[in-house]
Amino acid sequence: MAARSLFLAFAFAGLIAQGAWARAGSFQGAWLEEGQVCANVFVAAGKTLVFRRPANAFAAAFIIRGQRLSTPLATCRVSRTSPHGERRVLDLSCTTSIATNTARAVFGPAEDGGLHRYSAAEGGTATKYRLCTPEALKMP
């Protein structure tokens, strides 16, 4: 499961990369796999969200701020992004407390403003993520 969190970091770091997606401010923020509860993973810190401490290493969640993406286990930077239709193929460099590694990930926008992480640039299965906000933390 720790590998899943690291892969999520790799998969979504490109949201802050070059091109139209980089200019889309809506991709900045705290993201969580659909069906999970934002308040179980994030807490408010002023106007932003941070990971609840101790962080759940297995949470399918990440935070994008500027050119950085964080998961409970890793911090990533985008080294390159390539368009592939509506999807983006990302080359990433992520660092954990143990090592730095590279990865490739594929993502695309969901119609409702969320995100899809795909298993391949063409076809493949998708996992959906939604944006968490400070207001979402107040919901029961």
- Summarised one tens digit per residue, pLDDT across range 45-85 is 988 999 999 989 999 998 888 777 788 999 999 788 789 99
What is the pLDDT of the chain when averaged over all its residues? 80
Rounded to an integer, what distance in angstroms lies between the CA atom of residue 69 and that of residue 63? 6
For residue 128, list its beta bridge partners: 116
Cis peptide preceding 54, ω within 30 of 0: yes
**In the predicted model, what is the mean pLDDT of residues 109-137?**
91
**Predicted structure pTM score:** 0.75
Residue 9 identity: A
Of 5, 1, 15, nearest to 106 by C-alpha is 15
